[in-house]
Amino acid sequence: MDKLSIAGPTRLAGTIRASGAKNAALPILAATLLAEEPVVLHNLPRVRDIRTMDRLLCHLGASSELRDDGALVVRGSADGNPDDAPYELVKTMRASALVLGPLLARRGHARVSLPGGCAIGVRPIDQHLAGLEALGATIELEHGYVTASARALHGARFRFAMPTVGGTENLMMAASLARGTTVLENCAREPEIVDLARLLNAMGARLAGAGEETIVIEGVERLGGCEHTVIADRIEVGTYLIGAAITGGDVTVEQCNPADLAPLLAKLSEIGASVEVAAADATTGRGGRIRVAAGGGLRASDVSTAPHPGFPTDLQAQYLALMTQAEGVAAVCETVFENRFQHVPELLRMGADVRCEGPCAYVHGPTPLSGSHVMATDLRASACLVLAALVAEGETVVDRIYHLDRGYENMELKLQKLGAHVRRIHS
């Protein structure tokens, strides 16, 4: 298993470009199963989860081809190999559950392994299944698999028990080919949901309200091909901006959308970092720029994660690392997942002063961190440890960075470009 060796302390400075959003690309790839013609996708991030989803689509009978310009051309298929997303694939990536809606809508049946838990929580898919039943699907759970079938899906009104990103995405895709109108209430509002809606509408679907609490979908007979550019990864961008703040550096990220990071940018300004933005193009959401600079002396400030437009849970671990270097005590509270503080024990080993109580971690800062051997447990916890390593005195070795490779494209190259002393140890 590869490791990252990071020599600290370092001050990050310079300009990098955002990669495409993993969490937009995954549902968008699943949506290609709905199309009767090829779909051309630009700006897909070259990360492990995208390769896993591509493998799953091909297992399901689709075909994909990487063009010289970096675009991926995907040809869905109305039938083909076993309509199942096997446990071997799903256990490595929960987002495999996103093929349920498209398979059901396009082929009338699907068999997908239940994702099982993961490091950050149980993460059930009961809302996905309840929504598909509302559209007329018969759902059976047996031997760790969901088997879903429907002669024809019909429109329905369905209210999610909580805003669920994957649940909203699965239902948007299934309802696109259902007969009649579907009204989804209490939807997730993340920018990745809006990007999926853009793709589906470009394929000929008729969705309105993506990004709001209520989404209305007029079902259509068929969906065609299209060309689409995936939005920038706001979580990747936020990670590097926090890197600028924690190292007292000065980092600019280009080709991103500042509007997608409003809660983080407000928080960085509040704690004393300087934040400059250049807005993205209003229609495409692309071409924006964000610069964060900090000269030390940051102030602690509480944060509570929440579904968009609240502070993203996917930046909680990174922000917690930042608070170890801020003056005062910060309560970092996690309201979305039940077990998303796995990074804390590793930070304690580096010298951080953090006390967990229920849904909150209380971080006392600033505390000097020392380079240590630490272990990544999940994607964003890995990013947190890398950020801590950048300010720690001496060498830090982060183990199990396959977690990192799931969602960060060329992280060590981008960090080296910003002046970090980081190298990958292959093993």
Is 295 an interacting residue with respect to ligand EPZ (CB under 6 A)?
no
Sheet holding 138-142, edge to edge: 84-85, 109-113, 145-149, 138-142
Three-class SS of residue 174? helix
What size, in residues, is the chain?
A: 427
- Please name the residues in contact with 88: beta carbons below 8 A apart, sequence gap of 6 or more: none
Rounded to whole angstroms, how far apart are CA atoms 385 and 397?
Answer: 9
Is 65 an interacting residue with respect to ligand EPZ (CB under 6 A)?
no
The site map against ligand EPZ for 116-135 (x = CB under 6 A) is -----xxxxxxxx-------
Least Cβ distance, residue 361 to ligand EPZ (angstroms): 17
* Nearer of residues 8 and 115 to ligand EPZ, judged by Cβ: 115
**Residue 39 · residue 203 · CB < 8 Å:** yes
Is 47 an interacting residue with respect to ligand EPZ (CB under 6 A)?
no
User: Whose structure tokens read 């002046």?
Assistant: 419
**Residue 414 · residue 11 · CB < 8 Å:** no
Is 167 an interacting residue with respect to ligand EPZ (CB under 6 A)?
yes
Number of residues counted as binding ligand EPZ (CB under 6 A)? 25
Rounded to whole angstroms, how far apart are CA atoms 258 and 260?
Answer: 5
Binding to ligand EPZ (CB under 6 A) within 4-33 occurs at 23, 26
Rounded to whole angstroms, how far apart are CA atoms 173 and 287?
Answer: 28
CA distances from 144 to 49, 102, 128, 140, 321 (A): 22, 20, 16, 10, 37
Least Cβ distance, residue 93 to ligand EPZ (angstroms): 8
- Ranked by CB distance to ligand EPZ, the top (closest) residue is 166
Backbone angles phi, psi at 359, to 5 degrees: -80, 0
**Active-site hit among 58, 118, 187, 384:** 118
Least Cβ distance, residue 404 to ligand EPZ (angstroms): 11
Is 185 an interacting residue with respect to ligand EPZ (CB under 6 A)?
no
With CA atoms as reference, report the closest residue to 308 among 207, 197, 173, 165.
165
* Nearer of residues 107 and 128 to ligand EPZ, judged by Cβ: 128
| ω into 366 cis (within 30 of 0) | yes
Is 165 an interacting residue with respect to ligand EPZ (CB under 6 A)?
yes
First to last CA, the chain: 5
Is 408 an interacting residue with respect to ligand EPZ (CB under 6 A)?
no
Is 384 tagged catalytic?
A: no
| Part of the chain binding ligand EPZ (CB under 6 A), chosen from 2-10, 73-81, 160-168, 415-423 | 160-168
Task: Pick from 236, 314, 399, 405 the residue near ligand EPZ by CB under 6 A.
Answer: 314
Is 248 an interacting residue with respect to ligand EPZ (CB under 6 A)?
no
Least Cβ distance, residue 193 to ligand EPZ (angstroms): 9
Is 188 an interacting residue with respect to ligand EPZ (CB under 6 A)?
yes
Is 166 an interacting residue with respect to ligand EPZ (CB under 6 A)?
yes
3-state SS, 62-104, equals: CEEEECCCCCEEEECCCCCCCCEECHHHHCCCHHHHHHHHHHH
Least Cβ distance, residue 365 to ligand EPZ (angstroms): 24
| Part of the chain binding ligand EPZ (CB under 6 A), chosen from 32-40, 69-77, 164-172, 207-215 | 164-172
Binding site for ligand EPZ (CB under 6 A): 23, 26, 94-95, 121-128, 162, 164-167, 188, 313-314, 336-337, 379-380, 407
Q: Give catalytic residue positions.
A: 118
